[in-house]
Amino acid sequence: MSLTDPVADFLARLRNAIRARHQKLDVPASKLKTEIARILKEEGYIANYKAAEEDGRAVLRVYLKYGANNEAAIRDLARVSRPGCRVYVGRDEIKRVQGGLGIAILTTPRGVMTGRQARREGVGGELLCEVW
């Protein structure tokens, strides 16, 4: 099975795992997904992640994070730029997600980073997704 949009698949699996209250989630690994997981961990949306191997395939294992009342750290996520309709933003066009309560994840010439980091560094890029 070939995926046309592996990032959207990753986000959908993440959303489903959170709604089903799973503790961890395995997705096929890629550099981009690992970078997205790194940002989610840095921003406190997931507990941890690690690269593992299952049946000879590289998988990314994401450990989900829940609060005191068992509410998920991630309320929702949305894919912005899709293979059929790429969305690029300049450094001045990076909007705040949910009034600053969420994060935007971008791929920039300086790597994958949050909207806040991109604004600070003065770079734009492809707006992958928004998490809140």
Residue 68 has pLDDT above 90, yes or no: no
Position 34 in a domain? yes
Q: Would you place residue 49 in the very low, low, confident or very high pLDDT band (cuts 50, 70, 90)?
A: very high
Position 100 in a domain? yes
Largest CA distance in the chain: 45
Tell me the Cα Rg of the chain.
15
Q: Compare 124 and 100 and report the one with higher pLDDT.
A: 124
Residue 25 has pLDDT above 70, yes or no: yes
Number of domains in the chain: 1
What pLDDT sits at residue 1? 52
The CATH number assigned to the domain holding 42 equals 3.30.1370.30
Residue 114 has pLDDT above 90, yes or no: yes
Position 29 in a domain? yes
Position 1 in a domain? no
Position 75 in a domain? yes
What pLDDT sits at residue 94? 95
Position 72 in a domain? yes
Around Cβ 25, how many Cβ atoms within 10 Å? Answer: 20
Buried b (16+ CB within 10 A) or exposed e, 83-110: eeeeeebeeeebeebeeeebbbbbbbee
Domain span holding position 101: 6-131
Contact predicate 23/72, CB 8 Å: no
Share of the chain above pLDDT 70, in %: 98
Residue 86 is given by DSSP the state -
What pLDDT sits at residue 2? 61
What the block records as the tokens of 86 is 């790429």
Position 96 in a domain? yes
Q: Would you place residue 105 in the very low, low, confident or very high pLDDT band (cuts 50, 70, 90)?
A: very high
